[in-house]
Amino acid sequence: MTQATEASWSAETAEAGLARQRAWVEVNTAAISANARSLKRRIGPATSLMAVVKADGYGHGSVPVARAALSGGASQCGVATLAEGIELRRAGIEAPILVLGNLTQVEELRSCLRWQLMPTISGMREALVCQNLASGQGRPMQLQLKLDTGMARLGADWPEGPRLVAAIGELDAVQLAGLYSHLASADAPPTVDDGLTTRQQQRFESVLQALGNQNLEGLSCHLANSAATLRSGGLHYDLVRVGLALYGHSPAPHLASVIPLEPAMALHARVSLIREVPAGTGVSYGHSFHTSRPSRLAVVGIGYADGVPRQLSNQLEVLFQGQRIPQVGAITMDQLVLDASDCPALESGSVVTLLGQDGDQQIRPSDWSERCQTIPWEILCGFKHRLPRLTAAQAAWEGPTPGAH
């Protein structure tokens, strides 16, 4: 090893060590690529895959996720905000990018033109603004029209679809690149499905039929989110927009076996202190837990400020060497406490897994969300940026053997 290489290695080792000092998110980009490949096999060659990387790639890091998804077969990216789209462009992502949020301000749409981002529009006002901005630029500005078929959120009223498509088609400086809608309950199990997805698809289909084949030429029509992608090939159309499944999680239990998915995130934290306490000791704020025996408590450097929900207090478990260890007392802003009485191998400096796999044991975001009465999406998006995002190699790397040359 050269002196320069050794110095570089030492610096990287020190940086990785600092990142793993307290708590961190481990992101497996190979799993993202594998999930993209599984999704591509599911939808077939006639349908394109859009990787939805909004909310910093659902907490995984939007840039590495986008690169991994594109290498796995995705052809486009979806983001929620203008800033998210610009971040991908600045990172060198050249694939088409759709901004799923509604951009209404002139400067926002001007930025879309500059950075070659496709804005979502819900009416003619934004289309005319784009027309004025793109006139004389030498290339048409691509945009996509969203229709509201039952979500009551963004989008033009679906009966207005044919008229709006025709009107936008008359503009010479813009190109309508897509027509889409969003499903409200595609994840509903068959036993409770009230037919809303069918009604939404029928409304979408009625617009497509009114437009006819000629007006649909060059137009990407899409309806499916992760749940619809797994639910039925009849919902796929030209493109599917996949978020949660890309990250290795099924949007509903009854869809979990449709294709193999590999979770791409693990959450780890380090034990900072071990303390022995007598029976009857109250733990953490409010003393919601008292030890029932002489106990060995482990303090772990992660809390609700990092994204571990306080609602999980006295319900959380962590993994260590394939063993489940219960969390006790109130989860605080920066720390939580484990009852390690039955795990003598756990020591100060040991690393525990809050989400992910350890041996034959696994904890998923859905395990947390069910106990918090929320959804896995919220859990994944809740991890704050003071938690470093490390690749699997960075998380495992201990650096060179001392004295190796």
Residue 7 has pLDDT above 70, yes or no: no
Write a three-state SS string for 330-370. Answer: CCCCCCEEEECCCCCCCCCCCEEEEEEEECCEEECHHHHHH
Q: Provide the angle, in degrees to the nearest 10, between the axes of the packed helices 82-90 and 62-71.
A: 70
Intra-chain end-to-end CA distance of the chain, in Å: 5
CA distance linking residue 392 with residue 62, whole number of Å:
16
Same fold: 29-246 with 265-396: no
Give the pLDDT score at 21: 83
Confidence of residue 162 (pLDDT cuts 50, 70, 90): very high
325 in helix, strand or coil? strand
Give the pLDDT score at 403: 40
Tokens found for residue 272: 């900072």
Give the pLDDT score at 4: 56
Tokens found for residue 349: 């400096």
Lowest mean pLDDT segment, chosen from 14-23, 130-139, 211-220, 361-370: 14-23
Residue 396 has pLDDT above 80, yes or no: no
The partner residues of 300 in beta bridges, in order of sequence, read 271, 336
45 in helix, strand or coil? coil
69 in Cβ contact with 33 (< 8 Å)? yes
Looking up tokens 């939580």 gives 336
Give the pLDDT score at 12: 54
Residue 238: other Cβ atoms inside 10 A: 16
pLDDT per residue as tens digits for the range 182-223? 999 999 998 888 899 999 999 999 999 999 876 677 899 999
Q: Which helix (H) or strand (E) is 244 found in, with range?
A: none
Give the pLDDT score at 402: 37
CA distance linking residue 355 with residue 365, whole number of Å:
7
218 in Cβ contact with 193 (< 8 Å)? no
Lowest mean pLDDT segment, chosen from 7-16, 75-84, 141-150: 7-16
Cα 133 versus chain centre, distance: 32
38 in Cβ contact with 249 (< 8 Å)? no
CA distance linking residue 195 with residue 244, whole number of Å:
23
Q: Where are the domains of the chain?
A: 29-246, 265-396
Confidence of residue 257 (pLDDT cuts 50, 70, 90): very high
Pair type for strands 361-363 and 389-391? unpaired
Angle (nearest 5°) at CA 14 between 10 and 16: 115
269 in Cβ contact with 363 (< 8 Å)? no
Nearest to 296 by CA among 334, 345, 355: 345
Per-residue pLDDT, averaged over 87-114, amounts to 97
Residues marked active site are found at: 54, 285
- pTM as predicted: 0.92
* Domain spanning 29-246: CATH 3.20.20.10: yes
For domain 265-396, give the fold: Lyase, Ornithine Decarboxylase; Chain A, domain 1 (2.40.37)
CA distance linking residue 310 with residue 388, whole number of Å:
21
CA distance linking residue 21 with residue 395, whole number of Å:
11
CA distance linking residue 298 with residue 351, whole number of Å:
11
Q: Give every CB contact of residue 153 below 8 A, 6+ residues apart in sequence.
A: 182
Strand segments (E) across 105-149: 118-121, 141-148
pLDDT per residue as tens digits for the range 260-301? 999 999 999 999 999 999 999 999 999 999 999 999 999 999
Residue 96 has pLDDT above 70, yes or no: yes
Per-residue pLDDT, averaged over 256-261, amounts to 97
Give the pLDDT score at 214: 66
Give the pLDDT score at 194: 87
pLDDT per residue as tens digits for the range 108-149? 999 999 999 999 999 999 999 999 999 999 999 999 999 999
Residue 371 has pLDDT above 60, yes or no: yes
In percent, the amount of the chain with pLDDT more than 90 equals: 87
32 in Cβ contact with 69 (< 8 Å)? yes
Give the pLDDT score at 404: 41
Q: Give every CB contact of residue 138 below 8 A, 6+ residues apart in sequence.
A: none
